[in-house]
Amino acid sequence: MSDTTAAIPTTSQWPSLKDLTSQVQSGKVTAVELVERALKTIGEKQDYQAIIATIAERARARAVEIDKLIADGSHVGRLAGVPFIAKDNFLVFGADTTAASNILKGFDAPYQSTAIERLEAEGAICVAKANLDAFAHGGSTENSDFFTTKNPHDTTRVPGGSSGGSAAAVLLDMAPFALGTDTGGSIRQPASFTGIVGYKPSYGLVSRSGVIAMASSTDTIGPLARTVEDAAYVIDIMAGKDSLDSTTIDRDAAGYDITSPESLAGKKIGVIKEYMGEGLDAGVKKQIETSLESLKEAGAEIVEVSLPSLEYSLGVYYIVVPAEISSNLSRYDGQRFGFSDKSAKDLEASYVQSRTKGFGAEAKRRIMIGAYVLSSGYYDAYYNKAQTVRTKLINEFNEAFKDVDFLAGPTAPTVAFKIGENASDPLQMYLADVMTVGPSLVGIPSLVIPAGKVDGMPVGLQLMAPQKADRILLSVGATAQEKLSKEQK
């Protein structure tokens, strides 16, 4: 294991995305150099097990192309030559797409995710695929069928999940940003556990096409980055309607790129009472309170808001989401792609054996819960009731946003837990999602920014805005990050 302090650089080797792009465009640095820099860092820090596979060959070829375009004076995009890392549930050319599952081992994507396509169209270069809990089921990467990623702040701890590989990769400076997916906190919680920025956009703002589905009604795609500005820059490129995903929404006419961050002055922030009570680690609570105090100093008005139905959000989430998971995982049947047990004697056996051997324990647990809540006789008691409460939750959030501009709270009840600490207790593991599933069920955007540390482990402040208010959330979020980072120095 490499030395932890050396692994997390005090100063990043990557300037801001805008600076990096202008350096490439002006020829100050080449795309090839950036790709090599990223691949070198990935190679040096592989002990953290953040990466499942590199896409070295394709990345190098793309870098050469981009450098040639620049040399020819041709137009290059807004992320020309910028390397990035994608969570391994994005379909990307040049390496297998596995979702960290045995059942998809060796799966060669026949097309690419819209998110990847849009970034590539602006010249970005995907250099590696990051580890995750298999099919994004989990909050620690311990459910990866391959290996567990280590938290660079303390290698005995998890980096969070399911986008733990992406979070660790950014913290380890392997690339200026990474893509993650967030269904119930999978971008936000690892951002909090590793002390970086994580952004879960409004549901539908970024196309889900070509991203391996977990739960279709809450799956979102977003960046993990060092700054809110960089996250916003990436969102600006990925956001907007996609003819391949009918649930996508129009992008904001003004875009998401932050030219001058909006001030906190006069912004009313509602602190969610239910997130600050029982179950919240005292150290985390203190860090969040201190951060909110800083935002108040910067001119924000801080009030307390109560969302009583949040109490049920975890219960609702673990009915609705497994239901969708059990359905979405039906296509992994060993018949057309991925793992297929060749010893099966007939069709029925082929289904049973391929899925029994191909899926890990957590996927099976969720398939069973999902199949149960959807089965005839239980649908009304579970799924329907959960959807009713979900509607109530949406109404409560809408009501709250009539009075405040943003909602705030911690991202997770604790700092990163120890590897193995929750692994044998699925309920304990699910409880780590208690502060992130609410916004997922409601579909609102949620931003996590670093908010100091407790005993050397990072804490993330979660800021939420109404649906489609991504632009203002990012812009004010940038100001908030700036303010909090000054406090922490």
Partner 1 sequence: MVTKEVRDQYKVTIGIECHVQLKTNTKLFAAVGNDARDAEPNTLISHICLGMPGALPVLNEQAVALASKAAFALNSVPSPFSTFDRKHYFYPDLPLGYQITQFYQPVVLGGSVDIFVDGKPKTVNITRAHLEADAGKSSHPAGADYSLVDLNRAGTPLLEIVSEPDINSPAEARAYAHELYLLMKYADVSDADLFHGNMRFDVNVSVSKTDELGTRTETKNLNSFRSVEKAAEFEVNRQIELLEKGQSITQETRGWDDAKQKTFSQRGKEQAHDYRYMPEPDIPPVQLDSDYISRIKDSMPVMPGEWRTKLSGLGLDVSQTDILLDAEVADSTVDYLEILEKNLTDKAFAKQLANWFVNIEIPFRADENNTVSLSNEGRATVYAQTAALVGDSKLSSSNAKLLITELLTHETLPESIEKYADEQGFIQVSDTGEIEKVVIDVITANPQAAEDVRNGEMKAIGFLVGQVMKASLGKANPGLAQELLRKHLQ
| Residues acting as catalytic residues | 87, 162, 186
217 binds partner 1 (CB under 8 A): yes
110 binds partner 1 (CB under 8 A): yes
Report, in Å, the least distance between residue 119 CB and partner 1: 16
| DSSP conformation letters of 423-488 | TT-HHHHHHTTTTTHHHHHHT--EEEEEEEEETTEEEEEEEE--TT-HHHHHHHHHHHHHHHHHHH
The span from the CA of 194 to the CA of 214, in Å, is 23
210 binds partner 1 (CB under 8 A): yes
By beta-carbon proximity to partner 1, the closer residue of 312 and 351 is: 351
Whether residue 200 contacts residue 187, with contact meaning beta carbons closer than 8 Å, is answered with yes
Extended strands (E) in 183-314: 197-200, 220-225, 268-272, 301-305
By beta-carbon proximity to partner 1, the closer residue of 151 and 354 is: 354
The candidate with the shortest Cα–Cα distance to 159, out of 417, 372, 424, is: 417
343 binds partner 1 (CB under 8 A): no
Task: Region of 245 please: left (phi>0), alpha (psi -120 to 50) or beta.
Answer: beta
106 binds partner 1 (CB under 8 A): no
By beta-carbon proximity to partner 1, the closer residue of 84 and 332 is: 332
Report, in Å, the least distance between residue 373 CB and partner 1: 9
133 binds partner 1 (CB under 8 A): no
Q: Which of 111, 296, 311, 361 binds partner 1 (CB under 8 A)?
A: 111
The candidate with the shortest Cα–Cα distance to 107, out of 336, 375, 310, 344, is: 336
Q: Which stretch binds partner 1 (CB under 8 A): 141-149, 302-310, 333-341, 432-440?
A: 333-341
The candidate with the shortest Cα–Cα distance to 447, out of 328, 291, 341, 343, is: 291
347 binds partner 1 (CB under 8 A): yes
The candidate with the shortest Cα–Cα distance to 195, out of 423, 453, 467, is: 453
243 binds partner 1 (CB under 8 A): yes
CA quadruple 285, 288, 292, 293: dihedral sign:
positive
Q: Which of 45, 129, 153, 208 binds partner 1 (CB under 8 A)?
A: 208
Q: Which of 230, 324, 433, 470 binds partner 1 (CB under 8 A)?
A: 324
Whether residue 88 contacts residue 98, with contact meaning beta carbons closer than 8 Å, is answered with yes
User: Phi first, then psi: what are they for 340, rounded to 5°?
Assistant: -140, 125
Residue type, 398: N
User: Phi first, then psi: what are they for 197, rounded to 5°?
Assistant: -95, 135
The candidate with the shortest Cα–Cα distance to 269, out of 293, 287, 235, is: 293
Q: Which of 97, 141, 143, 479 binds partner 1 (CB under 8 A)?
A: 97
Do strands 197-200 and 125-130 pair parallel, antiparallel, or not at all (unpaired)? unpaired
Token code pair at residue 388: 């009713």
Report, in Å, the least distance between residue 86 CB and partner 1: 12
Q: Which stretch binds partner 1 (CB under 8 A): 17-25, 164-172, 244-252, 275-283?
A: 244-252
Q: Which of 379, 398, 403, 418 binds partner 1 (CB under 8 A)?
A: 379
102 binds partner 1 (CB under 8 A): no
245 binds partner 1 (CB under 8 A): yes
181 binds partner 1 (CB under 8 A): no
Whether residue 90 contacts residue 179, with contact meaning beta carbons closer than 8 Å, is answered with yes
Helix axes 17-25, 31-44, angle to 10 degrees: 130
Report, in Å, the least distance between residue 111 CB and partner 1: 6
Taking every pair of C-alpha atoms in the chain, what is the biggest distance, in angstroms? 70
- Nearest-5° Cα angle at 406, 213 to 207: 25
Q: Which of 53, 61, 244, 394 binds partner 1 (CB under 8 A)?
A: 244
331 binds partner 1 (CB under 8 A): yes
By beta-carbon proximity to partner 1, the closer residue of 290 and 387 is: 387
330 binds partner 1 (CB under 8 A): yes
Omega before 162 cis (within 30°)? yes
Residue 447 pairs in a beta bridge with: 199, 463
By beta-carbon proximity to partner 1, the closer residue of 25 and 209 is: 209
Q: Which of 23, 113, 411, 446 binds partner 1 (CB under 8 A)?
A: 113
132 binds partner 1 (CB under 8 A): no
391 binds partner 1 (CB under 8 A): no
- Residues at the contact surface with partner 1, assessed by CB under 8 A: 91, 97, 99, 104, 107, 109-111, 113, 208-213, 215-217, 243-247, 323-324, 326-327, 329-333, 335-337, 347, 351, 371, 374-376, 379, 383
